Amino acid sequence: MAQEAPGKIAHELRRGELARAGDVPFGRYFGTTDATALWLVLLRDHAAATGSRALLRELAAPMRRALAWMQGARSPDGFLREPASRSGQGLWNTSWKDSDDSIHDGQGRLASGAVAVVEIQGYVAAALDACADMESWLGADGAPLALEAAALRESIDGRFWDEAMGLHAVALAEDGRRLDAATSNPGHLLWAGALSPDRAARVARRMMRPDLWSGWGLRTLSTRSPRYQPLSYHNGSVWPHDTGLFAAGLARYGLPEAATARRALLDMAAVQPALQLPELLSGYARGGPVPPPAYLEPCRPQAWAAALVWAALG
């Protein structure tokens, strides 16, 4: 299977005629750079929320294999990078913004090569912290993993922050150059706890400006970008889960913008058919009580859109 590796968590599994015939890559498909880190955070959060270590003990060996893959896949600069090229029929970009034109710089030039996407580095830092907790609960020493997470958080802020933009770059190119597009991606760093309180407050204020904040939620891309298109998949649309992670991160840091983001999520849901949040909405500015024009053929309902409302409100 494309990009399969021991310990790596799969991107998705599909069954049906197209998958069996090989016309789509999704039988069991591993074209993802972030799912392994997120799985590790989920496993820790399950143990913390339930107060039970039974599942953690059962999955201790897979947890350690997933950690080993994640650590081994990091490049010499410490960042977890997307593959340098498309693998077979698979995706070119393997972050959550996985359309071919989703990663680019401020002038709209598409990225190439092995790219370090900003939110993935936050997920890795959060996963290292999660593994530190889990190792300590299993009776092992988690301190080295906590130190590794702290070093990565410092590196994220030092390498991705763009003072002129007042925000973290969406990614680093293979040569280390910042891809200086203003996007929603840095909002995930708040959810991951990857920023200092002062930096988190600056990110929050920047992301609530009208080029990124539509009134219904965060646009995936600033309206100032030459690639902005409100009906695109990842270049100006609004994704409820994306805004939900941002809202949860704002609440994590105790920032006042959390109330605005939470309210927008509820308002967005309230104007949807059957109150079901779709996969994504258009990025047009909110101008009244009518819902934003829909993206053509979104998945509805969408599990992570619904789940992030509860996560943001919690």
Q: What is the pLDDT of residues 249-305, one digit of tens each?
A: 999 999 999 999 999 999 998 888 888 889 999 999 998 767 788 787 788 878 888
Q: Are residues 211 and 151 in the same domain?
A: no
Residues 156 and 203 in one domain: no
Mean pLDDT (whole number) for 128-152: 98
Distances (CA, A) of 197 to 126, 162, 252, 299: 16, 17, 10, 35
Torsion of CA 20, 25, 28, 32, to 10 degrees: -170
Domain range for residue 221? 182-314
User: 100-123, pLDDT tens digit by residue?
Assistant: 999 999 999 999 899 999 999 999
CATH number of 67's domain: 1.50.10.10
- Give the DSSP per-residue string, 212-236: TB-SSSBBSB-TTSTT--TTSSSSS
* Orientation of helix 240-252 relative to helix 303-313, angle to 10°: 20
Instruction: Give yes or no: residues 99 and 191 share one domain.
Output: no
Choosing from 173, 196, 223, the residue where a domain stops is 173
What is the share, in percent, of the chain residues with pLDDT greater than 90? 75
Domain identity same for 20 and 123: yes
Give yes or no: residues 10 and 116 share one domain: yes
Domain check: are 133 and 23 in the same one?
yes
Q: Are residues 56 and 200 in the same domain?
A: no
What is the pTM (predicted TM-score) of this model? 0.94
Predicted confidence band of residue 87 (pLDDT cuts 50, 70, 90): low
**Backbone phi, then psi, for 140, in 5-degree steps?**
-100, 180
* Residue 37 confidence (pLDDT): 98
Same domain, 263 and 144: no
- Considering the domain architecture, whether residues 138 and 249 belong to the same structural domain is answered as no
Q: Which of 140, 173, 206 is the last residue of a domain?
A: 173
Domain check: are 165 and 217 in the same one? no
Query: What is each CA distance from 229 to 102, 120, 168, 226, 288, in whole angstroms?
Result: 11, 24, 21, 9, 21
Q: How far is CA 227 from CA 101, 145, 170, 234, in A?
A: 9, 39, 14, 10
Among 58, 14, 8, 59, residue whose Cα is nearest residue 38: 8
Query: Among 143, 173, 203, which residue terminates a domain?
Result: 173
* Same domain (yes/no): 223, 164: no
Residues 4 and 106 in one domain: yes
* Domain count for the chain: 2
